[in-house]
């Protein structure tokens, strides 16, 4: 039985714009962001159902939109609210993705507006509409991000590994070394050299450590504000922590196998 790679969803979630908050990063993500696409069934909950004037009032009251959100990005988000049905929302989001207009700024505008509506205790229907749209935009954004070749290779390697268990570490070390030899060292047209691959993996590990520190700071801030109090939020938080730990462990195992090969002179 192969191991499920945790790297892509973790790094995709960690790449979520800063202003989208920890809560956004606790949303479910697909295991393979390369094949991810917004699901049609989710779009049916995106269309505001409480009247255009009320939704626009909420957006117009969003005075604390992050300062690094451009007018173009905010207007792109605003136009999504002016949709007649779920199909029109989908079409607009698809057009944004294809035209390169679904940016971090659009996401920041969406989540900032949502969080302000939540803090003002706006009508549940309004909050639900903004939450659905923000979540949908997040998923579309993550799906549209290119995966670096080195990360794709790590993902392929991890999928070959055996699940944790007695003797699994030694077995996985052998599996990884053989696969790295085949994919990197003995390939007639390798994507990169072993040294380049090791440098990329070390960078990934460093980024994950910095993201872990930011994640913990966000946890402390939200807990201090009285957020993340529901059982559902706490469960998602623990799941996300476990996923991050698993992903970092997988990355460290790949790094160790690479460095062992370099020491051995392969």
55-88 core/surface letters (b: 16 or more CB in 10 A; e: else)? beebbeebeebbeebeeebbebbbebbebeebee
Q: How far is residue 243's CA from residue 249's CA, in Å, rounded to a whole number?
A: 10
Contacts of 251 (CB under 8 A, 6+ apart): 7, 154, 201, 204, 205, 208
Chain centroid, CA 228 distance in Å: 19
Token pair 């989208």 in the structure block, residue: 20
pLDDT along the chain (266 residues), means of 10: 49 41 37 33 44 57 66 87 80 91 88 81 81 85 81 89 88 94 81 90 89 83 78 82 86 94 82
pLDDT the model gives residue 18: 38
Compute the 3-state secondary structure of the chain and give helix, strand, coil in percent, each to the nearest 5: 70, 0, 30
State the Cα torsion 40-92-143-145 to the nearest 10°.
Answer: 180
Q: State the Rg of the chain over Cα.
A: 21
Kindly tell me the sign of the dihedral angle through the C-alpha atoms of 194, 195, 201, 205. positive
pLDDT the model gives residue 27: 37
Which has the closest alpha carbon to 204: 139, 149, 162?
149
pLDDT the model gives residue 160: 92
pLDDT the model gives residue 201: 92
Q: How far is residue 58's CA from residue 114's CA, in Å, rounded to a whole number?
A: 9
Structure tokens at 103: 């940016």
Q: pTM of the prediction?
A: 0.60
């Amino acid at each position: 039985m192969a191991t499920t790679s945790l790297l892509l969803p973790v790094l995709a979630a960690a790449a979520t714009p800063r202003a989208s908050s920890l809560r956004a990063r606790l949303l479910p993500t697909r295991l393979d962001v390369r094949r991810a696409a917004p699901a049609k069934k989710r779009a049916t909950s995106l269309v505001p159902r409480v009247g255009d004037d009320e939704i626009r009032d909420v957006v117009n009251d969003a005075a604390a939109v992050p300062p690094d959100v451009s007018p173009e990005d905010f207007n792109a988000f605003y136009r999504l609210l002016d949709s007649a049905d779920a199909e029109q929302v989908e079409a607009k989001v698809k057009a944004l993705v294809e035209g390169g207009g679904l940016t971090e700024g659009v996401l920041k505008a969406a989540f900032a507006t949502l969080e302000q509506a939540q803090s003002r205790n706006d009508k549940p229907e309004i909050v639900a509409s903004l939450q659905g749209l923000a979540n949908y935009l997040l998923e579309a954004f993550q799906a549209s991000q290119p995966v670096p070749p080195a990360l794709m290779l790590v993902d392929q390697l991890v999928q070959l590994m055996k699940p944790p268990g007695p003797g699994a570490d030694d077995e996985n070390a052998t599996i990884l070394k053989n696969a790295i030899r085949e994919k990197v060292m003995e390939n007639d047209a390798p994507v990169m050299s072993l040294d380049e691959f090791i440098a990329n993996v070390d960078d990934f590990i460093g980024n994950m450590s910095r993201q872990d520190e930011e994640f913990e700071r966000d946890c402390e801030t939200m807990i201090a504000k009285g957020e993340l109090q529901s059982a559902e939020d706490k469960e998602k938080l623990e799941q996300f922590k476990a996923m991050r730990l698993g992903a970092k462990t997988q990355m460290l195992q790949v790094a160790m196998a690479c460095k062992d090969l370099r020491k051995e002179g392969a």
